[in-house]
Structure 1
Amino acid sequence: MITKNVFIGWSFITVASLMICLFYFYPMVQALIMSFQSGAGTNLKFTGFENYARLFTDPTFISAVTNTVIYLLIQVPVMILLALFLSVLLNDKKLKLKGLFRTAIFLPCVTSLVAYSVIFKYLFGVDGIINMMLMKVSLISEPIEWLTDPFWAKIAIIVAITWRWTGYNMIFYLSSLQNIDQSIYEAAKIDGASAIQQFFKITIPMLKPIILFTSITSTIGTLQLFDEVMNITKGGPGDATITISQYIYNLSFKYTPDFGYAATVSYAIVIMIVFFSIIQFKVAGDKK
């Protein structure tokens, strides 16, 4: 027999559950079905695993995966370490104007993706302020082709996404640091532990769940990287900076529409996210 409380409870979650099924699970299932189909536009026919086999011989997809993994392996560790360093500095009770510094570092992650990407495009232009400053201090003798050289274009993308998302991760670490009992640090000081020893023996272990969480979310975000590359380099020069998400966009809207293969590439991202998440859980030693 359905009681009044059970009815009220189900009435609260039914609409939300239906919305989740309609806007999340249904498109996921449809995309999975579409990944086994191929054809121009909406004229699709079932081709089995042909699209998945095509991934391994598609040079553009291989370039996109290579570039995305490079961004992931370089940018995520740098961002995590930088966010940890800044959170420890800004958690110091003796530091003045902490609120100002915290806001300034967090502010980039609430700016428009397109707006900040366009700004970085101009900053890293041949006659942009970055080249002007480097030449001013005599670090370079001629402007660097940041956006037209394959190597430097990747560096520009990495700098851009690090600038934007470091403050976001810093807030997680900062809030966690403020929940650590200060008596632990006081006891460590009495035992003669240095600041570095406290950081590695107390701070890092206490922040381990948050570090794992931010590492996984940052990995997911990097594997889905689109806006920065699209607005700063457009995937160029050639395919030197193209990402998997941009390739999906090209397959769907720039080239002759091939929604079936685009869905296959989308599920390649899902597989990569699962793969890297499992690795991070194993490295972190999380058994749950």
Structure 2
Amino acid sequence: MKKIIVPIDFSEHSEYALETAASIAKKFNSEVYVLHMLQLSNAIITASANSLNEEAVFYLKLAEQKMETFLDRPYLKNVNVIPVVKHFMVFKEINELVKAQDADLIVMGSHGASGAKEVFIGSNAEKVVRHAEIPVLIVKHNPILVEFDTIIFASDFSQDSVESYIKAKSIFNKLEAKVQLVYVNTPNSGFKSSVEIDQLISKFLKIAEGNLDMFKDVAVVSDYSVEQGILSYANRAGADLIAVATHGRKGLAHFFEGSISEDVTNHSTLPVMTFKI
């Protein structure tokens, strides 16, 4: 893991993400790209060339000053930090930076979203999860101890999720974490019998691992929703991190079908890491 991107808005939750990223960077000897997007208004964007230049420079200088103050943290000592300021608040720009720098991980803070705001707006973290092509680590609280000793990886154990699991396992091995695989069985259209679940998990492990050695490490949980099952099991297992695979649904498909990864991201008090299927 050579490069980590941390989108910030200079908030308290941004600092949580930055401290977490710094801890990971020290373990992997990674570079940390701290990204701030200015969110310039349409008025500034459509102004004449001269006024646009003057106002844009003003806001750019202001952002650079805030960035310098924000990055003055003792936990960043001996961490290679590269500040980046973009002009527009477009989430695909994060992907552009990811591709340009060949980044491996996005770390960001979030306070979540709920109710009508969650349905019609969503949190910024939710939008990043939806667009990101690389793993995203969402942090909700001050990382007193940034040690992910116990991680649960929730999966539907489909063949589509094999690649995301392999990527996740590579990261978890480097973190020297204990990983518990979790399947949530629900009473709706996704319900499966015990035999069907065993067959599903066995087929998945044969492809992903080449053997069934980890079969004993798969927990099968029954709950009214996948999200509830994941959060409840994480609490019982004393997990430090929840990892989930996501299809990254967008547009109408996202609105009507929703996203388990985004629901977990919004409602979990634990850090959540998502992996694109």
Whether the TM-score (by the shorter chain) exceeds 0.5 is: no
Give the structure with the larger helix fraction: 1
The structure with the greater share of residues assigned to strand is 2
Larger Rg: 1
Q: Per chain length, whose mean CA-contact separation is higher, i.e. which structure has more relative contact order (CA < 8 Å, sep 6+)? A: 1
TM-score, scaled relative to structure 2: 0.22
